[in-house]
Amino acid sequence: MVTTFNDTQITEFKRLVARYPEGKHKSALLPALHLAQDSFGGWLSTETLDYVASLLQIEPIEVYEVATFYSMYNLKPVGKFVFEVCQTGPCMVSGSDHIIDYIKKTLDIQPGETTKDGLFTLKLVECLGACGYAPMMQVGKIYKEHLTKEKVDSIIAEYRAQATNN
Protein backbone atom coordinates (compact mmCIF):
# COMPACT_ATOMS: atom_id res chain seq x y z
CA MET A 1 0.00 0.00 0.00
CA VAL A 2 1.36 3.43 -0.97
CA THR A 3 1.60 5.83 1.90
CA THR A 4 1.83 9.17 0.21
CA PHE A 5 -1.07 11.51 -0.48
CA ASN A 6 -2.01 12.16 -4.09
CA ASP A 7 -2.46 15.71 -5.39
CA THR A 8 -6.06 16.08 -4.24
CA GLN A 9 -5.19 14.78 -0.80
CA ILE A 10 -2.20 17.11 -0.54
CA THR A 11 -4.45 20.05 -1.43
CA GLU A 12 -6.86 19.01 1.33
CA PHE A 13 -3.95 18.58 3.75
CA LYS A 14 -2.77 22.11 2.97
CA ARG A 15 -6.27 23.46 3.52
CA LEU A 16 -6.31 21.82 6.97
CA VAL A 17 -2.96 23.31 7.98
CA ALA A 18 -3.93 26.77 6.73
CA ARG A 19 -6.68 27.02 9.36
CA TYR A 20 -4.16 27.58 12.14
CA PRO A 21 -1.82 30.48 12.84
CA GLU A 22 1.87 30.44 11.81
CA GLY A 23 3.82 27.87 13.73
CA LYS A 24 0.71 26.16 15.14
CA HIS A 25 0.53 23.55 12.39
CA LYS A 26 0.54 20.68 14.91
CA SER A 27 -3.11 21.55 15.46
CA ALA A 28 -3.82 19.94 12.11
CA LEU A 29 -2.79 16.53 13.46
CA LEU A 30 -6.25 15.10 14.23
CA PRO A 31 -7.77 16.20 10.92
CA ALA A 32 -4.65 14.97 9.08
CA LEU A 33 -5.03 11.54 10.69
CA HIS A 34 -8.66 11.40 9.57
CA LEU A 35 -7.56 12.27 6.05
CA ALA A 36 -4.85 9.60 6.14
CA GLN A 37 -7.21 6.94 7.46
CA ASP A 38 -9.76 7.75 4.76
CA SER A 39 -7.05 7.72 2.10
CA PHE A 40 -5.20 4.55 3.07
CA GLY A 41 -7.74 1.77 3.49
CA GLY A 42 -9.53 2.77 6.68
CA TRP A 43 -6.65 2.29 9.11
CA LEU A 44 -3.34 3.80 10.14
CA SER A 45 -0.17 1.73 9.82
CA THR A 46 3.08 2.78 11.48
CA GLU A 47 4.33 3.88 8.05
CA THR A 48 1.27 6.09 7.66
CA LEU A 49 1.79 7.61 11.11
CA ASP A 50 5.43 8.32 10.26
CA TYR A 51 4.38 9.87 6.97
CA VAL A 52 1.93 12.20 8.76
CA ALA A 53 4.70 13.13 11.22
CA SER A 54 7.03 14.03 8.36
CA LEU A 55 4.37 16.14 6.64
CA LEU A 56 3.68 18.09 9.82
CA GLN A 57 7.36 18.20 10.73
CA ILE A 58 6.78 16.77 14.19
CA GLU A 59 8.26 13.73 15.95
CA PRO A 60 6.69 10.34 15.16
CA ILE A 61 6.05 9.81 18.89
CA GLU A 62 3.82 12.91 18.90
CA VAL A 63 1.69 11.23 16.28
CA TYR A 64 1.67 7.81 17.96
CA GLU A 65 0.52 9.20 21.30
CA VAL A 66 -2.38 10.95 19.63
CA ALA A 67 -3.37 8.09 17.33
CA THR A 68 -3.54 5.69 20.29
CA PHE A 69 -5.61 8.07 22.43
CA TYR A 70 -8.63 8.57 20.19
CA SER A 71 -11.10 5.79 19.46
CA MET A 72 -11.80 6.67 15.84
CA TYR A 73 -8.33 5.82 14.61
CA ASN A 74 -7.94 2.16 13.65
CA LEU A 75 -4.43 0.94 14.27
CA LYS A 76 -5.10 -2.48 12.74
CA PRO A 77 -6.55 -3.37 9.35
CA VAL A 78 -10.34 -3.39 9.26
CA GLY A 79 -12.96 -4.69 6.85
CA LYS A 80 -14.21 -2.60 3.96
CA PHE A 81 -17.24 -1.62 6.05
CA VAL A 82 -17.01 -1.14 9.80
CA PHE A 83 -20.23 -1.54 11.77
CA GLU A 84 -19.77 0.53 14.91
CA VAL A 85 -22.74 -0.31 17.08
CA CYS A 86 -23.53 1.84 20.09
CA GLN A 87 -23.97 -0.08 23.34
CA THR A 88 -24.31 2.72 25.94
CA GLY A 89 -27.29 3.09 28.35
CA PRO A 90 -29.84 4.91 26.18
CA CYS A 91 -29.22 2.55 23.24
CA MET A 92 -29.19 -0.44 25.59
CA VAL A 93 -32.61 0.40 27.03
CA SER A 94 -33.84 0.73 23.45
CA GLY A 95 -32.71 -2.78 22.50
CA SER A 96 -29.13 -2.48 21.21
CA ASP A 97 -28.26 -5.88 22.77
CA HIS A 98 -30.62 -7.63 20.36
CA ILE A 99 -29.15 -5.81 17.39
CA ILE A 100 -25.60 -6.66 18.44
CA ASP A 101 -26.52 -10.34 18.89
CA TYR A 102 -28.23 -10.37 15.53
CA ILE A 103 -25.24 -8.87 13.72
CA LYS A 104 -22.88 -11.34 15.44
CA LYS A 105 -25.06 -14.23 14.34
CA THR A 106 -25.70 -13.00 10.81
CA LEU A 107 -22.07 -12.17 10.03
CA ASP A 108 -20.70 -14.96 12.24
CA ILE A 109 -18.16 -12.68 13.92
CA GLN A 110 -17.47 -11.39 17.42
CA PRO A 111 -16.83 -7.73 18.26
CA GLY A 112 -13.39 -6.72 17.00
CA GLU A 113 -13.44 -9.37 14.25
CA THR A 114 -13.71 -9.10 10.49
CA THR A 115 -15.64 -11.45 8.20
CA LYS A 116 -13.51 -13.88 6.18
CA ASP A 117 -14.33 -12.09 2.93
CA GLY A 118 -12.84 -8.92 4.44
CA LEU A 119 -16.07 -6.98 4.00
CA PHE A 120 -17.38 -6.35 7.50
CA THR A 121 -15.85 -5.52 10.88
CA LEU A 122 -17.98 -5.33 14.02
CA LYS A 123 -16.96 -2.78 16.64
CA LEU A 124 -18.88 -1.97 19.82
CA VAL A 125 -18.70 1.71 20.61
CA GLU A 126 -19.98 4.15 23.22
CA CYS A 127 -22.65 6.83 22.75
CA LEU A 128 -22.53 8.48 19.33
CA GLY A 129 -25.06 11.23 20.01
CA ALA A 130 -27.99 9.48 18.38
CA CYS A 131 -29.69 8.26 21.56
CA GLY A 132 -33.13 9.40 20.43
CA TYR A 133 -32.86 7.38 17.24
CA ALA A 134 -31.71 4.17 18.92
CA PRO A 135 -30.62 1.46 18.36
CA MET A 136 -28.02 2.77 15.96
CA MET A 137 -24.66 2.22 14.36
CA GLN A 138 -22.15 4.21 12.38
CA VAL A 139 -20.86 2.87 9.07
CA GLY A 140 -18.08 5.07 7.72
CA LYS A 141 -19.41 8.61 7.74
CA ILE A 142 -23.05 7.57 7.88
CA TYR A 143 -25.35 6.96 10.85
CA LYS A 144 -27.83 4.09 10.48
CA GLU A 145 -30.58 4.71 13.00
CA HIS A 146 -33.77 3.07 14.31
CA LEU A 147 -32.22 -0.33 13.66
CA THR A 148 -34.35 -3.47 13.47
CA LYS A 149 -33.33 -6.96 12.38
CA GLU A 150 -34.90 -6.34 8.97
CA LYS A 151 -33.06 -3.08 8.63
CA VAL A 152 -29.76 -4.77 9.52
CA ASP A 153 -30.44 -7.36 6.79
CA SER A 154 -31.03 -4.69 4.19
CA ILE A 155 -27.96 -2.70 5.29
CA ILE A 156 -25.77 -5.79 4.92
CA ALA A 157 -27.30 -6.50 1.50
CA GLU A 158 -26.75 -2.87 0.47
CA TYR A 159 -23.03 -3.00 1.31
CA ARG A 160 -22.56 -6.43 -0.25
CA ALA A 161 -24.04 -5.06 -3.47
CA GLN A 162 -21.85 -1.98 -3.24
CA ALA A 163 -18.76 -4.18 -2.85
CA THR A 164 -19.63 -6.33 -5.89
CA ASN A 165 -20.33 -3.30 -8.05
CA ASN A 166 -16.94 -1.76 -7.33
Which residues contribute to the site for ligand FES (CB under 6 A)? 86, 88-91, 127-131, 134, 136
Q: Amino acid identity of 41?
A: G
Phi then psi dihedrals of residue 84, to 5 deg: -105, 100
| Window 10 to 49, contacts with other proteins (CB under 8 A) | 19-21, 24, 26-31, 33-34
End-to-end CA distance of the chain: 19
Are the CB atoms for 52 and 22 separated by under 8 Å?
no
Q: Which of 159, 26, 50 is nearest to 40 (CA)?
A: 50
Nearer to ligand FES, 119 or 131 (CB): 131
Residue 111 interacting with other proteins (CB under 8 A): no
Residue 85 interacting with other proteins (CB under 8 A): no
Residue 71 interacting with other proteins (CB under 8 A): yes
Q: Which does 42 bind (CB under 5 to 8 A by kind): other proteins, ligand FES, none?
A: none
DSSP string, 22-53: TT-GGGGHHHHHHHHHHHTTTS--HHHHHHHH
Q: Amino acid identity of 73?
A: Y
Residue 57 interacting with other proteins (CB under 8 A): no
Residue 133 interacting with other proteins (CB under 8 A): yes
What is the contact surface with other proteins in residues (CB under 8 A)? 19-21, 24, 26-31, 33-34, 56, 58, 62, 65-66, 69-73, 87-90, 92-94, 126-134, 138, 141-143
